[in-house]
């Protein structure tokens, strides 16, 4: 029997494309009637946000929620290489994770929590499926083009302060973004990503957390408020934890974590 609060690591999903997950069992006797699935960002943002999302899972489990964190195909500890990833695969991975969370907990209601690209993927998956009860979007990527611009300028900035890789090293198949390959096919898919084009209501309950005004987020807020979802918007003064900083990364913005736990606890009291 695992001591309460300690995550259980395991692989799940299709045997030819196993996904890595960490299951945090609800710590309290009376588990809340909703399983939480955390959709992480990708690339360097995944590395920078891992610590905060692990803490978030621990706090949600402390508050009585069973939580599943997982890595998409080609990311983190999951199988596959980053050169092969596609948005459709990641959406499928979210569905696989939802099924896994449901079968582990025996609960049908699911709350997806998505940060950055994880937020966009969570919203796309929710809109497609139509069976997600609650959705928490934390600084989601609203517009793929702006997201790509951000990645490219970060890479450019990085090259200003490090030795230039020799020999004009470039692969025809992908771009190098802070040491993570961004395949051209994925680049094209991301260019077309726009959450404002989703017409279906993604979930019954929605929390939208924003740390800094960014392209498209005001529009997304307006877009979401037109759906029949119960929307709560929170503007928080917290760092953009997905970005590398002078003082180091891996920040844990306690205020955002508190906000997510408190909102979810109110929904499932």
Residue ranges binding another protein (CB under 8 A):
2-3, 5-11, 18, 20, 22, 44, 46-47, 50-51, 54, 75-77, 79, 82, 158, 162-167, 169, 171, 176, 178-181, 246-247, 250
Residue 255 half-sphere exposure toward CB, CA atoms < 13 A: 11
Query: How does 90-101 read in b/e, with b if 16+ C-beta sit within 10 Å?
Result: bbbbbebbbebb
Task: Find the shortest distance in angstroms from Cβ 135 to another protein.
Answer: 25
| Beta strand extents in the chain (DSSP E only) | 8-12, 19-24, 35-39, 67-70, 110-115, 134-138, 174-177, 180-183, 205-210, 230-235
Q: How far is the CB of 229 from another protein (least distance, A)?
A: 32
Please report how close the Cβ of residue 50 comes to another protein at its closest, in angstroms: 5
Nearer to another protein by Cβ, of 76 and 150: the residue is 76
- Provide the token pair at 243: 């970005």
For the CB of residue 264, give the shortest distance to another protein in the complex, in Å: 21
How many residues can be counted in the chain? 269
Give least dist CB 147 to another protein, A.
19
Nearer Cβ to another protein (2/228): 2
Minimum distance of another protein from residue 49's CB (angstroms): 11
Q: Are 94 and 37 in contact (CB under 8 A)?
A: yes
Whether 17 contacts 80, CB under 8 Å = yes
Q: Which is nearer to another protein, 77 or 212 (CB)?
A: 77
Pick between residue 167 and residue 172 the one whose CB is nearest to another protein: 167
Closer Cβ to another protein, 9 or 130, answer by number: 9
* Selection from 263, 266, 267, 261 nearest residue 27 by Cα: 261
d(CA 5, CA 26): 7
The residue (of 206 and 257) whose beta carbon lies closer to another protein is 257
């Amino acid at each position: 029997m695992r001591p309460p609060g300690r995550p259980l690591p395991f692989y799940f999903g299709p045997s030819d494309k196993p996904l890595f997950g960490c299951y945090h069992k609800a710590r309290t006797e009376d588990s809340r009637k909703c399983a939480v699935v955390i959709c992480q960002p990708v690339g360097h943002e995944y590395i920078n946000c891992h610590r905060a999302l692990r803490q978030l899972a621990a706090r949600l489990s402390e508050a009585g929620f069973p939580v599943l964190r997982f890595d998409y195909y080609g990311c983190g500890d999951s199988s596959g290489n980053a050169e092969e990833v596609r948005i459709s695969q990641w959406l499928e991975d979210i569905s696989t994770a939802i099924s896994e969370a449901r079968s582990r907990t025996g609960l049908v209601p699911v709350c997806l929590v998505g940060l950055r690209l994880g937020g966009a993927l969570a919203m796309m998956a929710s809109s497609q499926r139509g069976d997600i009860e609650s959705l928490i979007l934390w600084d989601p990527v609203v517009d793929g083009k702006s997201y790509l611009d951000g990645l490219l300028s970060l890479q450019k900035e990085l090259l200003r302060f490090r030795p230039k890789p020799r020999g004009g090293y470039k692969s025809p198949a992908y771009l190098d973004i802070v040491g993570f390959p961004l395949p051209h096919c994925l680049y094209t898919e991301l260019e077309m990503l726009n959450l404002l084009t989703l017409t279906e209501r993604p979930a019954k309950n929605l929390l939208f957390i924003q740390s800094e005004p960014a392209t498209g987020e005001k529009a997304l807020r307006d877009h979401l408020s037109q759906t029949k979802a119960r929307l709560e918007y929170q503007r928080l003064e917290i760092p953009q934890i997905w970005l590398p900083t002078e003082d180091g990364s891996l920040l844990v913005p306690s205020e955002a974590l508190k906000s997510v736990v408190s909102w979810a606890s109110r929904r499932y009291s």
